[in-house]
Amino acid sequence: MKCNIISQRIQLQEYLMALEPNLTKAIEEKIQGEEEFLKTLDRKHVEDFLDETLNQYRLTQPSDYFLPD
């Protein structure tokens, strides 16, 4: 099971690395010149942003590697 967890973590890292330019741009657009936004930034804002970012991500199950399509 530990191998599966590691492979899922690697897959998530690769997914986020592919999105990195878009994520950086989105974050910079939100905070650029928005001092008021930064003052009100809280955990809820960050969680909503991450939920939106990871909305399309699908966790690969171990059976997906071994069963034919």
Each residue of 18-66: pLDDT tens digit? 999 998 998 888 888 777 777 888 899 889 988 988 898 887 766 655 6
Asked, for residue 8, whether it belongs to a domain, the answer is no
Number of independent structural domains in the chain: 1
Helix count (H) and strand count (E) of the chain? 4, 0
4 in a domain, yes or no? no
**pTM for the model:** 0.64
What pLDDT is recorded for position 40?
83
- The Cα 38–Cα 16 span in angstroms is 23
In a domain, 52, yes or no: yes
